Structure 1
Amino acid sequence: MFDNALHLERPKTDELVPSRYALRVGEIDVLVVSDGLLSLKTPNLATNADPSEVAAWLDHTFLPPDEMVWPVNVVVVRSGGRTILIDSGLGEQQPDFRRAGRWAQRLQAAGIDLASVTDVVLTHMHFDHVGGLLVDGVRERLRPDVPIHTAAAEAKFWASPDFSTNASMPAWFPDAARSAAARFLTEYGSQLRLFEAEYEVAPGVLVRRTGGHTVGHSVVRLASGGDRLTFLGDAVLPAGFDHPDWHNAFEHDPEDAARVRIGLLQELAATREPLVACHLPFPSLGRVAVAGDAFRFVPAYWEY
Structure 2
Amino acid sequence: MQTDIMERPAATRVEELVPSRYALKIGEIDVLVISDGVLPLPTETMSTNVDRETRTAWFTDQFLGPDAFDWALNVLVVRSGDRTILVDAGLGGQFPGFPRAGQFPKRLEAAGIELSAITDVVLTHMHMDHIGGLLVDEVKDGLRPDVRVHAAAAEVEFWKAPDFSRTVMPSPIPEVLQATARQFVAEYGDKLRIFETEHEVAPGVMVQRTGGHTPGHSVVRLASGNDRLVFAGDALFPVGFEHPDWQNGFEHDPEEAVQVRVRLMREAAATGELVVATHLPFPSVGRIGTDGDAFRWIAGFWDY
TM-score past 0.5 threshold? yes
1:152-191 Cα shifts (integer Å, max 9, x gaps)? 000000122121233x222222101001101100000111
Q: Is residue 2:121 matched to residue 1:123? A: no
Deviation at 1:3, TM superposition (A): 3.2
1:237-259 Cα shifts (integer Å, max 9, x gaps)? 10011100000111111111011
User: 2:201 & 2:180 partners in 1: Cα distance?
Assistant: 25
1:91-138 Cα shifts (integer Å, max 9, x gaps)? 115331111011111111111111111111000000000011100122
Equivalent residues in 2 for 1:38-117 (5 A)? 38-92=39-93, 94-117=95-118
Equivalent residues in 2 for 1:225-304 (5 A)? 225-304=225-304
Deviation at 1:4, TM superposition (A): 7.8
2:196 maps to 196
Q: Is residue 2:3 matched to residue 1:3? A: yes
Would the aligned equivalents of 1:130 and 1:184 in 2 still touch at CA under 8 Å? yes
Q: Is residue 2:144 matched to residue 1:143? A: yes
Equivalent residues in 2 for 1:23-34 (5 A)? 23-34=24-35
1:206 maps to 206
Number of residue pairs aligned between Structure 1 and Structure 2: 303
SS in 2 for 1:137: helix
CA RMSD of aligned residues (A): 1.6
Would the aligned equivalents of 1:79 and 1:202 in 2 still touch at CA under 8 Å? yes
SS in 1 for 2:13: coil
User: 1:192 & 1:257 partners in 2: Cα distance?
Assistant: 25
Would the aligned equivalents of 1:59 and 1:65 in 2 still touch at CA under 8 Å? yes
Would the aligned equivalents of 1:22 and 1:31 in 2 still touch at CA under 8 Å? yes
1:177 maps to 177
Q: 1:90 to 1:6 in 2, by over 3 A?
A: closer
Q: Percent identity?
A: 59
Structure 1's unaligned 5+ residue stretches are: none
User: 1:113 & 1:8 partners in 2: Cα distance?
Assistant: 11
Deviation at 1:143, TM superposition (A): 1.3
The runs of at least 4 aligned residues of structure 1 exceeding 4 Å deviation read: 4-11
Would the aligned equivalents of 1:287 and 1:297 in 2 still touch at CA under 8 Å? yes
Q: Calculate the TM-score normalised by the size of structure 1.
A: 0.96
Would the aligned equivalents of 1:75 and 1:85 in 2 still touch at CA under 8 Å? yes
Would the aligned equivalents of 2:5 and 2:111 in 1 still touch at CA under 8 Å? no
SS in 2 for 1:242: coil
Structure 2's unaligned 5+ residue stretches are: none
Would the aligned equivalents of 1:23 and 1:29 in 2 still touch at CA under 8 Å? yes
